[in-house]
């Protein structure tokens, strides 16, 4: 698995560095973190771990449009629970 490089660009926005100068914009809404009981966890830490989970599950992370991490992780029925357990 490739190393994950996530940079926070705003309160709910991030850039995922994909290598070769490629980037993908990410979004992680505060209500997603709050709903998971992760309000006290830094947003960058939550976003980075969410990307790791998606990579482990083989989710494609390339793309031109921003990726909303909540819906992307929620496609897997245990994705949110996995994130919660890892960051508890």
Q: What is the pLDDT of residues 4-48, one digit of tens each?
A: 799 999 999 999 998 888 899 999 999 999 988 999 999 999 999
Q: Is residue 1 part of a domain?
A: no
Contact between residue 69 and residue 32 where contact means Cβ atoms under 8 Å apart: yes
Share of the chain above pLDDT 90, in %: 67
Q: Is residue 46 part of a domain?
A: yes
Instruction: State the pTM of this model.
Output: 0.91
**Across residues 55-60, what is the average pLDDT?**
90
Domain interval for residue 35: 6-87
Is the pLDDT reported for residue 59 higher than 70? yes
Q: Is residue 77 part of a domain?
A: yes
**Across residues 54-64, what is the average pLDDT?**
90
State the DSSP code for 36: T
Q: For the chain, how many structural domains are there in total? A: 1
Beta strands in 33-83 (DSSP E): 67-68
Q: Is 21 helix (H, G, I), strand (E, B) or coil?
A: coil
Q: Is residue 64 part of a domain?
A: yes
């Amino acid at each position: 698995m490739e190393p994950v490089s996530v940079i926070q660009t705003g309160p709910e926005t991030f850039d995922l560095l994909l290598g070769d100068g490629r980037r993908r914009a990410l979004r992680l809404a505060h209500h997603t973190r709050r709903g998971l009981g992760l309000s006290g966890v830094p947003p960058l830490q939550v976003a980075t771990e969410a990307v790791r989970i998606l990579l482990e599950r083989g989710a494609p992370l390339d793309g031109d449009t921003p990726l909303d991490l909540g819906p992307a992780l929620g496609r897997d029925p245990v994705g949110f629970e996995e994130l919660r357990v890892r960051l508890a």
